[in-house]
Structure 1
Amino acid sequence: MTDAAPRPTGRKMFFPLSKLIFFVITPSNFLILIGLLGCLLLFTEVGRNLGRALALAGFLGLLIAGLGPLSAWVLLPLENRFPVFADDGAPVTGIVVLGGAVEADTSMSRDQITVNDAGEREIALADLARRYPQARLVFSGGSGAMREHPISEAEIVSRFADSLGVPRNRLILEQQSRNTRENAVFSARMTQPKPGERWLLVTSAWHMPRAMGCFREAGFPVTAYPVDYRTSGPRDATRLTTFASDGLSEFDIGVKEWIGLIAYKLAGYTKTWLPAP
């Protein structure tokens, strides 16, 4: 099934702006930009001293964030906020899996489902579909592309459901959402959850606090089912990273998620700064 509800016009302006803002404030991008600015200022008389400081700050920032344990420091509080799901035998009415893992364009070009580092979300979808054969399955994921008529993640999951071992006729596809708040609002609108029902929410552990806050605000009580952990535990807080690219990628994810939590609280999308169980 699909949701053909029209998108609010205000989203057309907000979405590109949010993309631009997140590009600039992504830590690795920001450090590169200030380092580049510093290098340019080195060729001027007035800004030479400032240029040295910025170039040094950019280089050291990339070095520390890439090889140091900073990524674990920002991710651990997020990933440990909600515990791993423990099946207590209570019936499960439905399962909501959030998008963010499917590479839609690559999947279409290569004619197979392609996922990124958050692919555990799709693995959990297949596993939970098998474990709870009577549960309703909701996949909530539109498209992050800014072009007209992009293909949604939900459409890709539907097309390649056989690869996941998930029957297509069990899938409820929510294809309009472009952020976590809309995941919650549109999923609640489609499923109309009733009091006493148990719904599992599947998303990355570092994203779970913001997602839970949004679903609660949307009046959709869910039980956290965190996946896609990026840290192995507290010991990571004292470990160096082997590859700078890995450290920067995880640091970017963590910082952007904390910024997202602040922005969602200020916008009224969540009731608390860091939702808890």
Structure 2
Amino acid sequence: MFFPASKLIFFLITPSNLCISAILLGLVLAAMTRWRRTGFGVALSGALLLAAAGLSPLSEIALLPLEQRFPAYPADGPAPAGIIVLGGGIEAGLSEARDQVVVNDAGERPIYLADLARRFPAARLVFSGGSGFTAGGIAEADIVSRQADAIGVPRTRLILENRSRNTHENAAFSAALVHPKPGERWLLVTSAWHMPRAIGCFRQAGFAVDAFPVDYRTRGWGDVTHLHGFASDGLLQFDLAIKEWIGLAAYRWSGYTPDWLPAPEPGNESR
């Protein structure tokens, strides 16, 4: 029940959808009811928020606390026992239809799966990603299995988890699949803006992992002084950030994470 409900709620409260809905509702109220002034106010509010989210640094202000939460894994960091890469970077339906790997704007996730496989030849490799649809659809892990050579990962090294539909299930199913031993070092690869929620889910599943963030959308705090040249860029980032903040709250309320905004464990900030 949580999965389909979350998809519907996220669609309804995505800022760009909400702003457009407010504009349309306001215009209808102004044109077809006696609440003319209220309608214009609602439409204007939606338009102003849409412009602010698209052109101002509002999206960076929302994204940076997420992306800066966990530092990058050091280049000379110790070799891990295993590496877990979360799905979300491959367009599974398009990949199946075109019989090749089609990545989206989180495509760094499978890219770094191949890179880390080369850097750490003894590490176990886990790709965790099912279908993002409420019913049917091919799993990302199945695409990775078919296209391992194209991605640059030896198929014989891959451990594939293809049932998960969200981050909570990524963590629970991966833990059940690999049974990590106490004291083992595992790297978790996912988007930097998604890392706090992902780390929280793995901790709640009893699976200790070190963050390996990728897919950054900001360059750093200096971005808060810049305006967007294209409103579509800002809206895409703002939608992403608000969805992730809502996801953090929903996961905490559901008991999927131990904290509202998971952070590096004390003493492990540089890991």
Task: Bin the TM-score by the shorter chain.
Answer: over 0.9
2:162 to 175, 179, 204: 175
Question: Paired residues, what number?
Answer: 264
Residue matched to 2:59: 71
How far 1:146 sits from its partner (Å)? 2.5
Which of 236, 253, 271 in structure 1 is aligned with 2:258? 271
Match of 2:72 in 1: 84
Q: Tell me, in whole angstroms, the C-alpha distance in 1 between the residues paired with 2:162 and 2:103.
A: 17
Within the candidate set 23, 33, 43, 1:55 is matched to 43
Residue 100, structure 1, aligned to residue 88, structure 2: yes
TM-score when normalising by structure 2: 0.95
Matches of 1:241 and 1:108, distance apart in 2: 35
| 1:88 to partner: Cα distance | 4.1
Cα 1:132–1:252 change in 2 (3 A) is same
**What's the CA shift string for 1:45-100, capped at 9, x where partnerless?**
42211110111011111111000000000000000000000144533100000011
Matched, 1:113 2:104: no
2-structure distance, mates of 1:89, 1:264: 30
Q: 1:249 aligns with which of 236, 247, 269?
A: 236
Structure 2: distance between partners of 1:72 and 1:89? 29
Q: Distance in 1 between matches of 2:77 and 2:42?
A: 57
Q: Residue deviations 1:150-195, cap 9 Å, x none?
A: 2100001111110111011111110111111110000000000001
Structure 2: unaligned runs, 5 residues or longer: 265-271
- Report the Cα distance in structure 1 between the residues aligned to 2:46 and 2:76, rounded to whole angstroms: 49
Alignment-mate amino acid for residue 44 of structure 2: L
In structure 1, which of residues 211, 220, 237 is the aligned counterpart of residue 207 of structure 2?
Answer: 220
C-alpha distance in structure 2 between counterparts of 1:215 and 1:45, whole Å: 51
Matched residue, 2:5: 17
Secondary structure of residue in 2 paired with 1:269: coil
Unaligned segments of structure 1, at least 5 residues: 1-12
- Give the Cα–Cα distance (whole angstroms) in 2 for the partners of residues 249 and 74 of structure 1: 12
Within 5 Å, give how 1:124-135 maps onto structure 2. 124-135=112-123
Could you tell me how far apart the structure 1 residues matched to 2:36 and 2:98 are? Answer: 49
CA deviation vs aligned residue, 1:252-274 (integer Å, no higher than 9, x gap): 01011011111111111111111
Q: 1:207 aligns with which of 184, 187, 194?
A: 194
Aligned equivalent of 1:193 = 180
Cα deviation per residue 1:123-164 (whole Å; 9 max; x = unaligned)? 11000000111110000000112333x210000111111011
Aligned pair partner of 1:46 in 8, 20, 34: 34
How far apart are the structure 2 equivalents of 1:14 and 1:209? 20
Q: Distance in 1 between matches of 2:39 and 2:144?
A: 48
Q: Taking structure 1 as the reference length, what is the TM-score of the superposition?
A: 0.93
Work out the CA distance in 2 between the residues paired with 1:19 and 1:211: 18
The letter for the 1-side match of 2:217 is R
1:275 Cα deviation (Å)? 0.5
SS, match of residue 188 in structure 2: strand
Overall identity of the aligned pairs, in %: 65
Q: Is the counterpart of residue 30 in structure 1 residue 18 in structure 2?
A: yes
Alpha-carbon RMSD: 1.0
SS in 2 for 1:81: coil
Supply the AA of the counterpart residue of 1:39: L
